[in-house]
């Protein structure tokens, strides 16, 4: 670390209304911990204390996401929508001058870089369509953490055990990588715990999103020196 690196300013938009600034910033802090050259600014949409628990809620939340995302996008190098449904990502990516990255596409794409038999892990039934679409035939199995009514539950011994059991079921179903399909699993901190015990990679959706955003932002217009005249294939 030379201390002279360009810092990437990353906006992190939460689709869950939280009162406490520490809570709002949690996903951003996870990204900063993994990518110390990324500086995050987190904000959450209003009026959605329960997040996006249904398709109807997504429709209702979308205008708030687009408005807040447009505002945040003017002040950052890249914008991350920290929800695996990727709500508003396509529209904001068209509208804004900076890259807009969603947790859903990020976790799916990152999982495909690690394995070809992907298991998704959610807090309720089903896998977001953006993840299903990207994985296609490589979606090997889908599991749900039983009893996870709140992310708080995930941090209890029972919740950790239930998460570990779900991952065991994915491994038994032939999965060689896990793509958690809900950023609430990051919020709970349970993924670190289960990764230590699992034999296959478990991709953190928020970290994956941070990685994609850091890649997309390309600060400082990097130029690689041309030092080789040989032809490297491919």
Beta-carbon contacts of 106 under 8 Å, excluding residues fewer than 6 positions away, are 205, 208, 209, 211, 212
What is the residue whose two structure tokens read 């690689």? 224
Closer to a copy of itself by CB, 54 or 75: give it: 54
Q: How far is the CB of 171 from a copy of itself (least distance, A)?
A: 15
Return the C-alpha torsion angle 54, 138, 170, 156, nearest 10: -40
d(CA 211, CA 30): 11
Closer to a copy of itself by CB, 72 or 130: give it: 130
Q: How far is the CB of 74 from a copy of itself (least distance, A)?
A: 19
The SS3 of residue 20 is coil
Q: Which two tokens stand for residue 88?
A: 């508003």
Closer to a copy of itself by CB, 72 or 131: give it: 131
Q: How far is the CB of 153 from a copy of itself (least distance, A)?
A: 9
Q: How far is the CB of 141 from a copy of itself (least distance, A)?
A: 17
Closer to a copy of itself by CB, 67 or 124: give it: 124
């Amino acid at each position: 670390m030379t201390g002279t690196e360009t810092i990437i300013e990353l906006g992190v938009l939460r689709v869950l209304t939280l009162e406490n600034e520490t809570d709002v910033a949690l996903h951003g802090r996870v990204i900063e911990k993994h990518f110390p050259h990324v500086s995050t600014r987190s904000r959450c949409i209003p009026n959605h204390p329960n997040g996006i628990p249904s398709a109807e809620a997504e429709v209702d939340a979308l205008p708030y996401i687009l408005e807040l995302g447009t505002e945040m996008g003017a002040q950052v190098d890249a914008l991350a929508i920290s929800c695996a449904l990727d709500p508003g990502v396509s529209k904001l990516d068209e509208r804004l001058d900076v890259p807009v990255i969603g947790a859903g596409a990020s976790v799916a794409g990152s999982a495909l870089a690690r394995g070809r038999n992907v298991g998704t892990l959610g807090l309720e039934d089903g896998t977001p369509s953006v993840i299903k679409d990207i994985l296609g035939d490589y979606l090997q199995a889908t599991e749900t953490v039983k009893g996870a009514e709140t992310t708080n539950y995930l941090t209890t011994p029972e919740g950790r055990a239930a998460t570990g059991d779900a991952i065991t079921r994915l491994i038994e179903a032939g999965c060689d990588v896990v793509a958690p399909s809900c950023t609430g699993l990051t919020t709970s901190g349970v993924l670190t715990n289960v990764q230590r015990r699992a034999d296959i990679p478990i991709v953190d959706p928020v970290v994956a999103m941070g990685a994609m955003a850091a890649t997309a932002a390309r600060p400082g217009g990097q130029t690689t020196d041309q030092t080789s005249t040989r032809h490297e294939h491919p």
